[in-house]
Structure 1
């Protein structure tokens, strides 16, 4: 998934990075180049994520002080990028807004967050949703591991130091 400083279009939705940028991985069928934002269903688990431009833009122009709070708010209002096109670059859509949430995901994440955090919330129809902020890997050397059966989430630290023991856990309800 492309991010704010990757060589792709600036406006959302961002197009996938080109395979030629990954010459060692491109031959493998497991390499999936995707848009930003992107939604996928894996073994019945709906995952929706962005590289974080939508959340950081709201953080910049609102009184909300926490990425997880903003992530929850965008889920509640049912719109991924409510500040586009006013303060966030967006392709001009005429009839259909692709940022309106049509279905509630089981996992909703944003990348490029200042730190790892997660929270389980309840959707409008009683469904449970794992909200997840994924920190900037370049500055934290931290990735996030989500078990798709249980949706237990934990940070994985690649820097050699001990990662925070914080994690999120929930049972999948379809």
Structure 2
């Protein structure tokens, strides 16, 4: 669908796509946010930003992959505003039924910290593939690349992640 085409109504296209796109956009956030309220707020922010873009003189093509791109930017903005997220010391060590649960939580925190330092395209493809459990072809479609290019990007992103992950931290 060309945005240049006569009669293209981007706001209407967004409203038409809303029911189909909402689970994807919300699902994107719910896997990456500490709580549902934040995921809901960021989902709302994404659709508001999308409507603003749709109302422009030359609106982008309104698709689910484009909305996921808007969502990625909203999530990045959210984490930029919380720049101190990984610098706060842990106040109390939570009680644990076993050391394994604590180790898993520490590994998760370290992995999030490493992801935050990677370039956006590496974070995106790793999150889609491993956090969202998307297939490589699904990742390719969502980020607008070929399957082969996405596989190559995943190789580079995993390599970058491993380079930044602390020694002895990976299990």
Does TM, normalized by the shorter one, top 0.5?
no
Task: State the TM bucket, normalised to the shorter chain.
Answer: under 0.3
Q: Normalising by structure 2, report the TM-score.
A: 0.25
Q: Which structure carries more helix by proportion?
A: 2
Between the two structures, name the one with larger relative contact order (CA 8 Å, sep ≥ 6): 2
**In terms of Rg, which structure is larger?**
2
